[in-house]
Each structure stands twice: as structure tokens, then as C-alpha cells.
Amino acid sequence: MTMDGFQSFDFDGPLAAGKRVTHPVYFRGEGPPILVIQELPGIGPQTLDLAGKIVDAGFSVYLPHLFGPLGRVSFAGNIARLFCLRREYHLFAKNKASPIVNWLRALCHEVQRRSRHSRIGSVGMCLTGGFALALMAEDGVVAGVASQPSLPVFDNTALQMSDAEIAAANAGMSQTGPGLAMRYDGDFMCRAAKMEALKAAFGNNVITKTIPGKGHSLLTLDWSDEAFETMMSYFRDRFSTG
């Protein structure tokens, strides 16, 4: 798979307890930067289509390649890979973010440096959905979209953020504006209880949107025009006023 139209760089950043990791980051576009954080199926054609649509809307996209093959989806293979990446992802942990979020925090600042834009947005999907909200604690991260956030696995009533991480994200949102969380109303992996947990943690600092339908991946495999337009309207608003 060739990433036509993308440039790339390798980014080395911190995890936790002195550990570091390096992942390639693909980017294209000239506008305000949006960090697109891949979901479980990986960076398949649908994720690349999403990136292209965001670029066509006048933004630039930064797409870290965190696991799995490029250009195709891999469900069982990526689940196995994630269990091998336990130092980066804590799939079942409650009340504490996965270590990869620290790497993504550092990446946000690297993107700001490279793009020369002081403000950045992000979208996380499925297992990375909640990561986008956690990143709003960082200076200059003015938008975060949690699309079908699904961690911790098997517990829709919990979040994968500590009280301190929630407080830091709330402080950031209070300065720049709310985050956005979306789900299909028939999604069995991201249930209504997840939106309720987000509201309990963030109150008016998070906008929740439920889309009619029984799919899961709003912006890729189970594409929703409504979800995409909701997200892009949110990004346009945040970059015009954030």
C-alpha cells in the first residue's frame, strides 16, 4: 500500500515510566491540522477516504500509524497486535488513560511546530475515541471528537481517564469550547451509558450526538453523512472561534 499524496515522518515520544515509542505519522493538506487517530480495524481505505474528505474541507490531516497494516482493515490481527502492545494500550483499565495518550499529547505539540498552526483538533474512533477528549487538556488543542468511544472494553459506564485527567481536560474545554462525542443509537459497543458517563464527567463541556442507525464506525466502515457533517461543522466553529 502506498500512501499517495501523503508525506511522513517518524515521531518518537513518551509513554509512561520513562518508556518511549516511535510510530510513523502520515500527513497531507495545508489548512488547520486535524489529528486522525485510527480505530481498531486500522488504517484501511475508509480511514483514508475520511482523511481525504477532511483535507477537501480545507484542513490538513495528521494520521499516526499506531498498529496494523496500511490500506486494509484487520480485525482479528489487530486485536492480537493490541495484546502485544500492552505497554501502549490498557484495553480494560478504568479511570486511567492508556499510555499511548501521553505519546499523542507530545505529537500534538510536534504537529503544531511542523504545521506552524497554533491550534489543532483531533478525532478518535472506537478504542481511541476517548483519547481525543483527553487531548483537549493540551495548549492549543481546541477541538476533540470522540466517535463511538469504546474503552474500557465491556464497561460502558466507565471512562478511561483518571479524575486528574478529566479535570485537566475540563479546564482546557472551559478555555476553548466543548468536545464532541457521537454514537449510533443502535451501537452495542458504545451504548447510551457511555454518553451518560461523559456527561457526568464533563457536563456542558461535552456535546453528545446520537445518530439513528445500528452501525458502529460512524466515520469509516458504517459511514454516516450526518456524523461527518456534524463533525465538520464542529471543527469549522472551533477553528473560527477557538
pTM of the model: 0.96
Q: Indicate the helix (H) or strand (E) that contains 229.
A: helix 225-241
Give residue-wise pLDDT tens across range 14-54: 998 889 999 999 999 999 999 999 999 999 999 999 999 99
Instruction: Give 99-148 pLDDT, tens digit per residue.
Output: 999 999 999 999 999 998 999 999 999 999 999 999 999 999 999 999 99
At 185 the pLDDT is 98
All domains in the chain, ordered by first residue: 13-241 (3.40.50.1820)
Contact by Cβ (8 Å): 93, 152:
yes
pLDDT digit string, tens, across residues 67-90? 999 999 999 999 999 988 999 999
